[in-house]
Chain A
Amino acid sequence: MTRLERNDRLIRLGLLMIAFSAVSILIVITLFIFSEGTPIMFKYGPGRFLFGLDWYPSEKAFGLLPMIVGSFFVTAGALLVGVPMGLACAIVLTQFASKRVGRILKPVIELLAGIPSVVYGFIGIVVIVPLIRENLGGPGLSVLAASLVLGVMILPTVISISIDAFQAVPPTYREGSIALGATVWQTIRMVMFPAARSGIVAAVILGMGRAIGETMAVIMIAGNAAAIPGSPLAPVRTLTSNIALEMGYASGEHREALFATGVILFVIIMALNILANWTSARRKR
């Protein structure tokens, strides 16, 4: 073996170790969350966590259902706002492609992705929340406020992935449709959407993952009441907010219950990622 060859092997070994340590950090984190969070779930029975309605950790009431439902509502609301907007942007950018519009829209979308979530939360507090309170009633800090802000926050994810999905559709489909006398909109609806469907599904799922995981902005504008919201104008607490709000001072079983919250969140997000990978793998075939 020459010196160069030996060097090569050393470098490869070094890179491999670094890569492996990244993977092992992930494994350690996962193990840690599960080892901290699952014992208490099995001590009191997972049903009490998953379906309990009351969250009074000091009195051993660990019901996470309001937070699970809360995360679900806020995420669904964010999708309702973000997916139509995101798809509209992707369609404008890929299908009506006037270069000038693209030159304006693209950087704006990239900028949206770069804004820290505190800033979104802040805008939510000073703009959205008062608007809701004064025009629609309620405290303003609400499912609606969180949905609107999260809807904008997931836009970059939804847009960039659905742009990829539309761009992956062979241009010949579009030509073939137009050549049959279809309008651009008919072409989009009847050919582009079916052809890009799995990619669009992946965009929605990843947007969903982003919405579920978002914490800071949600804490600032959702109101954080640990009860199932009765209307879009009612305050709500999500799984992520639950952890972030209380981890600072929790101890003992309270702290373990927050880890249990983390376990539930982890499972949901893993499931979403697997689903997204599965749909995009299907797309490649």
Chain B
Amino acid sequence: MTTPIIEVKTLSLWYGKFQALKDVTIDVEINRITALIGPSGCGKSTFLRTLNRMNDLIEGVRITGTVLFQGRAIYAKGTDLLDLRQNVGMVFQRPNPFPISVADNVTYGLRVHGITDRTVRDERLQRSLEAVHLWSELKDGLNRNALALSSEQQQRLCIARLIAVEPEVLLMDEPCSALDPIATARIEELMAELKKLYTIVIVTHNMQQAARVSDTTGYFLLGELIEVGPTPQVFTAPRDSRTEDYITGRFG
């Protein structure tokens, strides 16, 4: 048993009057992959976005409960949001590289955080692209516009962009849903490598994917975290009948 890097306690979230998360309590363990599954609209993305306070961008959101990152309450007054988001980065469902060059995409976070030293930048650029296995493909095309890459390359680039700022946690919201099965398999391999250095929380619609890549699985239903546990247990011997209905396809 390792120590949790993120501890969520009785977290509830409202969009206006609509309650999207209900009393969610979960620990995210360090250097593990935690998968969140559940039917569409059950609050997976919403939950993921509470972990780096991306919901702050949406008007009318109200949150109660606590989220601790490395022991500190991120919803407490005086939290440095920029620092939090540097440490808890996010990969989105659709690859969203900026419409600038490959190199500028990767070094974007560094520039944002005031790291201007050229040698540091070049070194991180190479290291980040190597980490996502894009370096050999792209080292001669670093000035190409990132939008010209394939979807898979774009998603890898988005991961590299995060890694460049040396985060602790990678939040991934259905990172493979815009990719074909082969690209998906390769991104899954990449995640397995990345978990040695980072903690990953991944939202996925694909139960096989959760079963393949994750160490811990949480099942969301209508804003509630119904069950969370080691992935093999959740998939073979779920404790809650609702989880069982879902994973055996008897849902709905």
Contacts and interface: CB of A to CB of B under 8 A. Distances in A.
Given A180-B161, A181-B86, A172 B112 contact: no
Contact of A181 (B94, B100, B113): B113
A180 B162 contact: yes
Interface stretch (A140-148, A183-191, A274-282): A183-191
Interface string A197-229: 000000000000000000000000000000000
Contacts of A191: 98, 100, 108
Contacts of A170: 96
B165 interface: yes
A181 B99 CA distance: 18
B96 A173 contact: yes
A195 B98 CA distance: 8
A179 B89 contact: yes
A180 B108 contact: yes
Interface residues of A, number: 19
B186 interface: no
Interface string A148-179: 00000000000000000000001011011111
B99 A173 contact: yes
B92 A181 contact: no
Given A180-B89, A195-B99, A190 B94 contact: no
Nearest to A99: B59
Contact of A172 (B85, B92, B108, B109): B92
Contacts of A28: none
B83 interface: yes
Contact of A194 (B57, B83, B84, B100): B100
Nearest to A192: B98
A191 B57 CA distance: 17
A183 B80 CA distance: 11
* Residue of A170, A173, A178, A179 with most partner-chain B CB within 10 A: A179
Interface string B50-61: 001010010100
Given A175-B54, A186-B112, A190-B111, A181 B85 contact: yes
Contact of A180 (B94, B99, B100, B109): B109
Size band of the B side of the interface?
A: 20 to 34
Interface string B153-195: 0000010011001000000000000000000000000000000
Given A181-B165, A190-B111, A176 B100 contact: no
A178 B54 contact: yes
Interface string A12-51: 0000000000000000000000000000000000000000
Interface in B79-119: 81-86, 89-90, 92, 94, 96-100, 108-109, 111-113
A180 B86 contact: yes
A2 B81 CA distance: 70
20 contacts: A172-B94, A175-B54, A176-B158, A177-B98, A177-B108, A177-B112, A179-B52, A179-B85, A179-B92, A180-B86, A180-B89, A180-B112, A181-B81, A181-B85, A181-B109, A181-B113, A182-B108, A183-B82, A183-B112, A190-B108
Interface of A: 98-99, 170, 172-173, 175-183, 186, 190-191, 194-195
3 shortest A-B CB distances, which residue pairs? A172-B96, A181-B86, A181-B85
Given A98-B59, A176-B161, A181-B82, 17 more contacts: A175-B54, A176-B96, A176-B98, A177-B98, A177-B112, A178-B57, A178-B85, A179-B89, A180-B109, A180-B112, A181-B85, A181-B86, A181-B165, A182-B109, A186-B112, A190-B111, A195-B99
